[in-house]
Amino acid sequence: MNAGVILAVAHNQPVMKLLITNGTIIRWNAQHRVEQLEQHHVLIEDNRIRDIVAAVPTNFEPDETIDASGCAVIPGLINTHHHLYQSLTRCLKPVQNAKLFDWLLGLYEVWRRVDFEAVKLGSQISMAEMLLSGCTTTNDMFYVYPRESDVKAEAVIEGAAELGMRIHAGRGSMSLGRSKGGLPPDDVVQDEKVIVKDCERVIEKFHDAKSYAMTRVDLMPCSPFSITFDLLKETRALGKSRHVLCHTHVAETEDENKFCIEKFGKRPVDYLASADWAGPDVSWAHCVCLNSEEIKLLADTKTAVAHCPSSNMILGSGIPPVCEMLKANATVGLGVDGSSSNNGAHVLAEARQALLLQRVKNGADSFTAEDALRIATLGGARLLNRERELGNIAPGFAADIAIYDLNTVEFAGAAAQDPLGALMLCHSPRAKFVIVNGKAVVKYGQLATVYLQGLVTKMNDLVKRRFR
Ligand SMILES: [Zn+2]
């Protein structure tokens, strides 16, 4: 590649300027405390934020202006755990009331029917729902590669690019089939050599290590009960050598703890740690069933947690010790988890769920609206090792912003008291505008990048034909 030519083209391209005017800006100050600026303006150049000002400089001539009068303007929300394809099987009737292992056993039978087109469509439905809720960056762990299927990581990555969503696409995996003592049926797990080779291929083809990258590839073996120890170690070594993040499920239920003690003689956290699965480039989803030593291990190793309250509640998994984790200074991000367990993907509503669930256990003053916004923005950015470019509205940060109209029935009265409190304590409607990487992908509460109703119709047809 001739870098000189690329630079010359970039230099000649005009800078696109976007102005967000007259909003109530809710952002983080240098001490990472929430700060509210009334009637301020956000100046955006190309894909990043140039400044936040009380008066727009006369020499800033925007190509596009968004009027945010009467709106809250917050950092784009970050979703740190998902299985996007699972909207194909949300509300599947036979498992609506099942706990994790039974729920999985029922779903594997349906998930073995996935192919490229189904995964792409299901993923786009999940991402569309998230974008409309104000989420700008998502994780995805896609781990079901049935033997006869044409599915590839491209299904999710292409889907995200078409919608304009920032993604950490996880090359997920399962290698421990039922015949070897694992939970999934043998025909939905893959050979370990095939998995490692494809992880390398996907990193090579799609991982963008540069700042403000729209697509990164992370490695995401599914769980201790669907992966061999050798594959865990090998995947982690690959992640370290290629400088990509590693993410897996850990300690989601007491059944999982029991399974690991019986099969490996260790609790899941010890098992993962013994495979080198801890560190600032590692995150664990759920962590519902942790003891105090395990929380200390998280904090000491700077391993991050993706907290998924709705999923934990729907599957009856328990209440994760999030307040204890935060008290120990561990990094906690927010996740909606797959659409088959959450059944929804509204990330702002999920922040409210986090607040409610911690209060059930720890009392009314244990988890504030600010805490909820923190895990949904800063915590997620830190989990993704991107705290200098995502999760805040500040000069130099990526232009990822969610804008909510406060003049709605859901917020009436509340927004006049406290806009942040309204966002986190009231029932949230859709975002009015959502900016990802400097581009408005949601305008007036509608997706601007794809024809959503077309996707919805296609999705309902497909589910009726193949995923019931
Ligand atoms: Zn999950």
pLDDT of residue 330: 98
Q: At 34, phi and psi to the nearest 5?
A: -70, 145
What distance in angstroms lies between residue 37's CA and the mean position of ligand 1's atoms? 36
pLDDT in tens, 95-140: 999 999 999 999 999 999 999 999 999 999 999 999 999 999 999 9
pLDDT of residue 428: 86
176 Cβ neighbours under 8 A, 6+ residues apart: 182, 183, 184, 189, 225, 226, 227, 228
Nearest alpha carbon to residue 85 among 50, 54, 57, 111: 111
- DSSP symbols for 86-126: GGGGTT-GGGTT--HHHHHHHHHHHHTT--HHHHHHHHHHH
Nearest-5° Cα angle at 193, 192 to 198? 100
Nearest alpha carbon to residue 308 among 78, 77, 76, 81: 81
CA distance 449 to 136: 14
The DSSP call for residue 463 is: H
66 Cβ neighbours under 8 A, 6+ residues apart: 18, 19, 20, 21, 403, 433, 435, 440
What distance in angstroms lies between residue 80's CA and the mean position of ligand 1's atoms? 10
What distance in angstroms lies between residue 462's CA and the mean position of ligand 1's atoms? 23
What distance in angstroms lies between residue 249's CA and the mean position of ligand 1's atoms? 6
What distance in angstroms lies between residue 390's CA and the mean position of ligand 1's atoms? 23
What distance in angstroms lies between residue 283's CA and the mean position of ligand 1's atoms? 12
Which H or E run contains 433? strand 433-436
Provide the Cα torsion 44, 49, 51, 52; round to 10°: 90
Q: In 363-413, which ranges are continuous DSSP H helix?
A: 369-374, 380-383
* Neighbouring C-beta atoms of residue 17, cutoff 10 Å: 17
What distance in angstroms lies between residue 443's CA and the mean position of ligand 1's atoms? 30
**Which residue ranges in the chain fall short of pLDDT 50?**
1-10
What distance in angstroms lies between residue 438's CA and the mean position of ligand 1's atoms? 30
Contacts 24+ apart (CB under 8 A), 405-410: 405/70, 405/71, 405/429, 405/432, 406/24, 406/70, 406/71, 406/72, 407/70
What distance in angstroms lies between residue 97's CA and the mean position of ligand 1's atoms? 17
75 Cβ neighbours under 8 A, 6+ residues apart: 27, 28, 377, 390, 391, 392, 393, 397, 400, 401, 402
pLDDT of residue 1: 37
Q: Is 452 helix (H, G, I), strand (E, B) or coil?
A: helix
Residues in the chain: 468
What distance in angstroms lies between residue 335's CA and the mean position of ligand 1's atoms? 9
What distance in angstroms lies between residue 454's CA and the mean position of ligand 1's atoms? 28
pLDDT of residue 12: 62
What distance in angstroms lies between residue 248's CA and the mean position of ligand 1's atoms? 8
283 Cβ neighbours under 8 A, 6+ residues apart: 80, 245, 246, 247, 303, 304, 305, 306, 331, 333, 383
What distance in angstroms lies between residue 360's CA and the mean position of ligand 1's atoms? 23
CA distance 72 to 254: 40
Given the structure tokens 């083209």, which residue do they identify? 9
What distance in angstroms lies between residue 87's CA and the mean position of ligand 1's atoms? 13
Nearest-5° Cα angle at 15, 14 to 17? 130
Q: What tokens does 385 get?
A: 């090792």
What distance in angstroms lies between residue 161's CA and the mean position of ligand 1's atoms? 22
CA distance 70 to 407: 7
CA distance 241 to 243: 6
Residue 163 Ramachandran class (φ > 0 left, ψ -120 to 50 alpha, else beta): alpha
What distance in angstroms lies between residue 83's CA and the mean position of ligand 1's atoms? 6
What distance in angstroms lies between residue 35's CA and the mean position of ligand 1's atoms? 33
**207: number of CA atoms within 13 Å, CB side?**
17
CA distance 303 to 331: 7
What distance in angstroms lies between residue 20's CA and the mean position of ligand 1's atoms? 35
pLDDT of residue 11: 52
What distance in angstroms lies between residue 280's CA and the mean position of ligand 1's atoms? 20
What distance in angstroms lies between residue 388's CA and the mean position of ligand 1's atoms? 26
CA distance 286 to 306: 6
CA distance 229 to 225: 10
What distance in angstroms lies between residue 30's CA and the mean position of ligand 1's atoms? 33
Q: Buried (b) or exposed (e) across 417-434, using 16+ Cβ within 10 A?
A: eebbebbbbbebbbbbbb
Nearest alpha carbon to residue 347 among 392, 310, 381: 310
